[in-house]
Chain A
Amino acid sequence: DVVMTQTPPSLSVAIGQSVSISCKSSQSLVYSDGKTYLHWLLQSPGQSPKLLIYQVSNLGSGVPDRFSGTGSQKDFTLKISRVEAEDLGVYYCVQATHFPWTFGGGTKLELK
């Protein structure tokens, strides 16, 4: 299975601060069609996960442009510019290039 290593496991931030979350995979996530199926999810407290970014850098529906995703091959980053209170929760990267699909361990974003 592809191992997804997500860091840091937790972040304590102030409103308005910018943060980055790293996700590294044990194999390249480039599929045979040339696309990279690396996505980012946010699970806010008491809610189900929500798709933030798909295929590395594409914003999900209704996701503010404070969120951005970059990376390639095995190394990916989610950046949140100017954190707002609604951004708190657990962030996951997930790869859907190789079976079985696998998740990172999660990054819990909390208020400082």
Chain B
Amino acid sequence: EIQLQESGPGLVKPSQSLSLTCSVTGYTITSGYDWSWIRKFPGNKMEWMGYISYSGSTNYNPSLKSRISITRDTSKNQFFLQLNSVTTEDTATYYCASLGYWGQGVMVTVSS
């Protein structure tokens, strides 16, 4: 069974970087699928942030411009999100997912 688990700080200060890890078990991330970061804002709005493919290529939402980076560590079967220069508008629940499989989500608050 494929399982995903996010980890990372729940509180980040404005202007700092948000860093999250997604640990995948039950499947090797280099075998297939696109591995995404998706966030849900207070209310119902969902936003796809970007993905790293099984081959290592990345695709990002242009709305995040140059603030986002998604990388991976294949030896640990993990992929990572870094979002720079955060503001209060980045407060959301962050999910790692491959659409068919989702982590439980981590709530991140941006506040001083």
Binding site for B on A (CB under 8 A): 1, 39, 41, 48-51, 54, 60-61, 90, 92, 94, 96, 99-103, 105-106, 108
Specify which chain A residues have a CB less than 8 angstroms from the CB of B44 in the assembled complex.
90, 92, 105-106, 108
Task: Write 25 A-B pairs (CB below 8 A) sorted by A numbering.
Answer: A1-B63, A39-B99, A48-B95, A48-B105, A49-B97, A51-B99, A51-B100, A54-B99, A61-B100, A90-B44, A92-B44, A94-B48, A94-B99, A96-B99, A99-B59, A99-B61, A100-B60, A100-B61, A100-B63, A101-B36, A101-B48, A101-B61, A105-B45, A106-B45, A108-B44
User: Knowing that A48-B102, A49-B97, A51-B99 are A-B contacts, what are 18 other residue pairs whose CB atoms are under 8 Å apart, sorted by A's residue number?
Assistant: A1-B63, A39-B99, A48-B97, A48-B103, A48-B104, A49-B95, A49-B102, A90-B44, A94-B48, A96-B99, A99-B61, A100-B48, A100-B62, A101-B48, A102-B48, A103-B46, A103-B47, A105-B44
Contact call B95/A103, Cβ cutoff below 8 A = no
Binding site for A on B (CB under 8 A): 36, 44-48, 59-63, 95, 97, 99-100, 102-105
Residue of A with least CB distance to B62: A100
